[in-house]
């Protein structure tokens, strides 16, 4: 549940901030009449995300056991690739996100077509929604469906409330600190996805037995099947009987990503960007 809340909170807050930036800029330009088209594009993006999520989970649920496991491995690898790209992109370009959005909004206004504003909001919010669907799929399992839905609902609710408060000026959230902290948590989440995927791939016979045999067993202290162990497993990839391939993949990804994310950024110039992640 915590991983679903974390993902939905971060992605949801990004979406509402994008919408707030677009709406605020439209009002500053004296184009308040176009705000409803931004809301229309947002509604379309949300509908697309819900349909995509329902289709993804339904399709995975109708597959046979082996096919479902193969599909899960592929979906997890895709989610990990997207998550890694998003983390790195936000580190490099997050400072210019506001300026880039305002520039695209101004161009859309200059085109004098409400459709351009709708498409801008649809593309910006829709990307966040589809990313969320993919990440939730990677972090969920059939036995965790209810907790995943509850965590996602809680995260989106918190994101919406925070976005409203920030837009109205009643709250001053340190967004840089928020995204830095959640970025590190998402790196841990990504390492967990990789560990779980390697474990699933090992069970399907993708690796030789020497790489998939357990290195140790801490189930006597904390199992990974239920309770705290299940929470840590779903969120950060804890496994009581990890294999060599899991441990190697987990720590390689974690070390490399933390180094890339936390290394000094001297020499990088923050400026408005012309494209989104």
Give 119's contacts (C-beta < 8 A, 6+ positions apart): 41, 108
| Higher-pLDDT residue of 91, 175 | 91
CA distances from 90 to 179, 217, 253, 264, 270 (A): 9, 37, 18, 15, 12
- The answer to whether residue 253 scores a pLDDT higher than 90 is yes
User: Which tokens belong to 53?
Assistant: 């999520």
pTM: 0.70
Band the pLDDT of 96: cuts 50, 70, 90: low
The predicted structure's pLDDT at residue 267 = 47
The predicted structure's pLDDT at residue 255 = 94
Q: H/E/C letters for each residue in 205-226?
A: CCCCHHHHCECCCCCCCCCCCC
Percentage of the chain exceeding pLDDT 90? 9
The 8-class DSSP code of residue 243 comes to B
CA-based end-to-end distance of the chain: 26
Neighbours of 122 (CB within 10 A): 23
The predicted structure's pLDDT at residue 21 = 74
């Amino acid at each position: 549940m915590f991983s679903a809340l974390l993902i939905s909170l971060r992605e949801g807050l990004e979406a509402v901030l994008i919408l707030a930036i677009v709406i605020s800029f439209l009002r500053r330009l004296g184009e308040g009449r176009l705000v409803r088209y931004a809301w229309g594009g947002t509604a379309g993006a949300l509908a697309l995300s819900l349909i995509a999520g329902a289709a993804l989970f339904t399709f995975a649920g109708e597959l046979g056991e082996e096919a479902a496991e193969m599909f899960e491995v592929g979906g997890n690898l895709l989610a990990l690739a997207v998550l890694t790209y998003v983390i790195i992109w936000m580190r490099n370009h997050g400072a210019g996100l506001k300026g880039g959005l305002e520039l695209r909004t101004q161009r859309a206004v200059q085109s004098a077509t409400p459709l351009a504003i709708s498409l801008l909001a649809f593309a910006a919010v829709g990307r966040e929604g589809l990313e969320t669907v993919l990440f939730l799929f990677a972090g969920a399992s059939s036995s965790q469906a209810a907790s995943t839905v509850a965590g996602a609902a809680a995260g989106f609710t918190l994101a919406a409330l925070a976005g409203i408060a920030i837009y109205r000026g009643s709250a001053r959230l340190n967004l840089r600190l928020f995204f830095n902290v959640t970025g590190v948590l998402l790196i841990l989440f990504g390492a967990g996805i990789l560990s779980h995927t390697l474990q699933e791939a090992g069970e399907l016979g993708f690796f030789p037995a020497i790489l998939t045999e357990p290195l140790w067993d801490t189930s006597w202290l904390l199992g990974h099947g239920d309770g705290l162990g299940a929470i840590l497993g779903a969120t950060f990839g804890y496994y009581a009987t990890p294999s060599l391939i899991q441990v190697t993949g987990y720590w390689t990804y974690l070390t490399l990503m933390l180094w890339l994310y936390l290394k000094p950024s001297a020499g990088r110039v923050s400026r408005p960007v012309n494209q989104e992640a």
